[in-house]
């Protein structure tokens, strides 16, 4: 009863706060000062096009800049294709692609608790923003790095949600952490499974990205770069980039796997079975990244991560894939930025 009451008031706070915040932001952006501030903070499409032109120009003038990167990518791509053929052969012979105990057949939590978790997630984000606004009335925050604040806020929000999952699993439901895939059993074997699995799925990602690039050019659609990409393209501080990379490529994937695969997927699986649970948890995972163009690649990644957890019963493979993917995306942004400079 007390938990339901707390969730009710959290929901009220979220439903009141976000519309008010949107109205305040809209009013601020209409003012000349607010419009100028927004222009300074955002990495616009025009700036991205300018970077792309500089990138192409520098590649033409110095083709050696991209040679080693292209060679490494082709090596990874053909390794992935080779693994795909190997796994296909195993499948045709009736052999398992991955072996493991799988997740628990049933868990104590369900869709209701998943909804409560996301209410808490949005509440925590709203509370952090609210406290930041209160602080700004007493402290001059004009010279604070907005990108660092954004990343720190995301870290606190996500860590809070992951901590809530762990507390619920241990205390509310009396289950071991193995129930959400947090186990050290066969740790290095699961890391190996994650690395091999990611290599095998790269050709699919590459094909999807090529198809999406063709379609977006066909319909002349341009989207804003993802927030994380904008941050990397803007930032020039090495210590800030190190903090961003630690969060994006290390801490973030661990936290997200706990509540997307370990908690959300198992709840959906209990209700709808593995197939629909993989699709449903991947859709939520992709939607929360708030980028239309990135939705399909992130959705495919989410389905693959859920499949790994389903086959192995451990979050270590999916965490490994998630970390590797984010680390490669970070490096791609930095390589692009370096060549375009």
Show pLDDT as tens, one digit a residue, over the chain (341 residues).
Answer: 667 888 899 999 999 999 998 888 777 666 555 555 455 555 556 666 777 787 778 777 777 767 777 888 899 999 999 999 999 999 899 888 887 787 887 899 999 999 999 999 999 999 999 998 888 888 876 777 777 788 888 889 989 999 999 999 999 999 999 999 999 998 999 999 999 999 999 999 999 988 888 888 787 776 666 777 777 777 666 677 788 888 888 999 999 999 999 999 999 999 999 999 999 999 999 998 877 778 899 999 999 999 999 999 999 999 999 999 999 988 888 887 777 77
3-state secondary structure of 220: coil
What does the alpha-carbon distance between residue 204 and residue 303 come to, in Å, rounded to a whole number?
A: 13
Helices assigned H by DSSP within 42-178: 45-61, 64-92, 111-138, 146-167
Q: State how many domains the chain has.
A: 1
Evaluate the CA torsion angle 143, 145, 150, 153 in order and state its sign: negative
Q: 3-state DSSP: the chain helix, strand, coil percent, rounded to 5?
A: 80, 0, 20
280 in Cβ contact with 272 (< 8 Å)? yes
Closest by CA position to 196, among listed 72, 76, 330: 76
The answer to whether position 191 is within a domain reads yes
The answer to whether position 12 is within a domain reads no
Helix (H) or strand (E) holding 272: helix 266-272
What pLDDT, on a 0 to 100 scale, did the predictor assign at position 214? 85
- Sequence-distant (6+) residues with CB within 8 A of 56 are none
Based on DSSP, count helices (H) and strands (E) in the chain, helices before strands.
14, 0
The answer to whether position 37 is within a domain reads no
The answer to whether position 271 is within a domain reads yes
232 in Cβ contact with 334 (< 8 Å)? yes
The answer to whether position 1 is within a domain reads no
- DSSP state at residue 208: H
> Token pair for residue 91?
């499948």
- DSSP state at residue 44: -
Full-prediction pTM beyond 0.85?
A: yes
What does the alpha-carbon distance between residue 251 and residue 154 come to, in Å, rounded to a whole number?
A: 11
The upper half-sphere exposure of residue 23, i.e. CA atoms within 13 Å in the direction of its Cβ, equals 5
The answer to whether position 275 is within a domain reads yes
The answer to whether position 217 is within a domain reads yes
What does the alpha-carbon distance between residue 159 and residue 163 come to, in Å, rounded to a whole number?
A: 6
How long, in residues, is the chain?
341
What does the alpha-carbon distance between residue 48 and residue 228 come to, in Å, rounded to a whole number?
A: 14
Residue 189: is it exposed, middle or buried by C-beta count within 10 angstroms (0-12/13-18/19+)? middle
Q: How many CB atoms lie within 10 A of CB 202?
A: 21
Q: What angle (nearest 5°) sits at the alpha carbon of residue 149, between those of residues 146 and 152?
A: 155
Q: Which domain holds residue 81?
A: 45-340
Q: What angle (nearest 5°) sits at the alpha carbon of residue 190, between those of residues 187 and 193?
A: 155
What pLDDT, on a 0 to 100 scale, did the predictor assign at position 44? 57
The answer to whether position 19 is within a domain reads no
């Amino acid at each position: 009863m007390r938990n339901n009451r707390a969730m009710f008031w959290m929901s009220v706070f979220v439903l009141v706060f976000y519309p008010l915040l949107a109205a305040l932001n809209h009013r601020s952006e209409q003012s000349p000062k607010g419009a100028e501030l927004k222009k300074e903070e955002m990495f616009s499409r025009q700036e991205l096009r300018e970077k792309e032109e500089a990138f192409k120009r520098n590649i033409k003038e110095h083709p050696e800049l991209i040679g080693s990167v292209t060679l490494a990518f082709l090596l990874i791509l053909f390794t992935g294709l080779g693994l795909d053929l190997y796994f296909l052969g195993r499948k045709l012979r009736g052999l398992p692609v991955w072996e493991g105990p799988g997740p628990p057949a049933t868990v104590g939590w369900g869709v209701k608790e998943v909804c409560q978790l996301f209410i808490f997630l949005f509440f925590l984000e709203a509370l952090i923003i609210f406290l930041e606004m209160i602080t700004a009335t007493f402290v001059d925050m004009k010279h604070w790095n907005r990108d660092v604040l954004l990343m720190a806020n995301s870290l606190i929000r996500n860590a809070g949600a992951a901590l809530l999952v762990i507390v619920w699993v241990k205390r509310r439901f009396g289950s071991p952490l193995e129930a959400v895939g947090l186990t050290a059993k066969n740790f290095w074997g699961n890391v190996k499974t994650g690395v091999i699995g990611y290599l095998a799925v790269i050709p699919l990602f590459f094909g999807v990205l090529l198809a999406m690039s063709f379609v977006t050019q066909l319909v002349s659609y341009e989207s804003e770069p993802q927030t994380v990409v904008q941050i990397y393209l803007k930032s020039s501080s090495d210590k800030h980039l190190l903090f961003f990379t630690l969060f994006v490529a290390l801490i973030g994937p661990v936290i997200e796997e706990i509540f997307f695969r370990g908690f959300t997927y198992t709840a959906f699986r209990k209700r709808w079975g593995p197939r629909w649970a993989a699709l449903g948890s991947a859709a939520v995972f992709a939607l929360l990244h708030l980028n239309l163009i990135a939705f399909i690649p992130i959705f495919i990644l989410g389905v693959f991560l859920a499949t790994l957890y389903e086959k192995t019963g451990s979050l270590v493979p999916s965490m490994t894939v998630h970390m590797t993917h984010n680390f490669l995306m970070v490096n791609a942004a930095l390589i692009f930025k370096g060549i375009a400079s």
